[in-house]
């Protein structure tokens, strides 16, 4: 049993982009707290199923669902599948994101839209589809996952920085709109997290401009622990906030 007990027992969470790295860690951590978890991946069914199987092997409940959050119909199908299996939705973690490094001169409007559709419009679609269930429970939580570059800027990532900065406004606006329904909305901003990268993929340019105070990179599990807290009963008075989880990278 996790040392904090099952603080999320009886609840149901949807985690988008949960097939690997930070999303995977969030799904596992919410399940460790007792929540049933819908593990979403855009297209990689095997990755999503592996996470769901890991949750089940630990005694939890999980459902793997593939679908692009940029597609409102796919999001609706995911929510329908969640309700058919678990009967409710209490937590939504908007983690899915398309990221790319591309000079503005080489960026087409389709490239621009692909990133904004995934990060910003995808979060909108998921909130809209989950909203009736989040409101019905009386203690719902939305956690958006931002990015350090949305606050510092980053070379060759103007589409990513724009979308991630937009999550700040989305979070604050939703916190206002949903307060009466007792749904909290917060933004977690990871920075300098040590995650595996595909072979040949370069380190993001903006990472080289910052260092943590300890000199160490964070872990996906560090982000997951913060998300679990924000979904739990001890965070009901926290809403509309941007929480930077970066080891003091802005201070170094």
Q: Quick check: 116 pLDDT over 50?
A: yes
The answer, as to whether pTM is greater than 0.75, is yes
Span 110-115, mean pLDDT? Answer: 95
How high is the pLDDT of residue 230? Answer: 98
Q: Which residue has the tokens 């997290």?
A: 193
Q: Quick check: 1 pLDDT over 60?
A: no
Across the strands, what pairs with 189? 244
Of the candidates 42, 40, 44, the one whose C-alpha atom is nearest the C-alpha of residue 52 is 40
Ordered by where they begin, the domains of the chain are 12-194+223-245 (3.40.50.720)
Q: Give pLDDT tens digits for 202-227.
A: 555 555 556 888 888 899 999 999 99
Please calculate the CA angle 227-232-238 and round it to the nearest 5 degrees.
75
Q: Give pLDDT tens digits for 11-62.
A: 999 999 999 999 999 999 999 999 999 999 999 999 999 999 999 999 999 9
What is the C-alpha to C-alpha distance for residues 140 and 183, in angstroms, rounded to an integer? Answer: 4
With a CB cutoff of 8 Å and minimum separation 6, the contacts of 105 are none
Burial group, residue 224, by CB count within 10 angstroms (0-12, 13-18, 19+): buried
Element at 91 (helix H, strand E): strand 91-94
Please count the residues of the chain: 252
């Amino acid at each position: 049993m996790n040392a904090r007990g099952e603080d999320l027992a009886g609840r149901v969470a949807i985690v988008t982009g949960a097939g690997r790295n930070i999303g995977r860690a969030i799904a596992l951590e919410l399940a460790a707290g007792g929540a049933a978890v819908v593990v979403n991946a855009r297209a990689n069914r095997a990755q999503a199923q592996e996470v769901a199987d890991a949750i089940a092997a630990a005694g939890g409940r999980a459902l793997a669902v593939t679908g692009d959050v940029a597609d409102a119909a796919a999001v609706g199908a995911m929510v329908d599948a969640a309700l058919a299996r678990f009967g409710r939705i209490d937590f939504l973690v908007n983690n899915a994101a398309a990221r790319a490094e591309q000079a503005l001169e080489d960026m087409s409007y389709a490239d621009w839209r692909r990133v904004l559709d995934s990060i910003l419009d995808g979060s909108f679609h998921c909130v809209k589809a989950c909203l009736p269930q989040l409101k019905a429970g009386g203690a719902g939580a939305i956690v958006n996952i931002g990015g350090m570059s949305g606050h510092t800027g980053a070379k060759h990532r103007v589409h990513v920085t724009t979308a991630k900065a937009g999550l700040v406004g989305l979070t604050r606006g939703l916190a206002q709109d949903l307060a009466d329904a007792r749904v909290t909305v917060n933004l977690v901003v990871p920075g300098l997290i040590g995650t595996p990268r595909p072979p040949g993929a370069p380190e993001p340019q903006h990472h080289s401009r910052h260092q943590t105070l300890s000199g160490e990179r964070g872990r996906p599990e560090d982000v997951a622990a913060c998300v679990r807290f924000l979904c739990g009963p001890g965070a009901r008075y926290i809403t509309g906030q941007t929480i930077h989880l970066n080891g003091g990278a802005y201070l170094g």
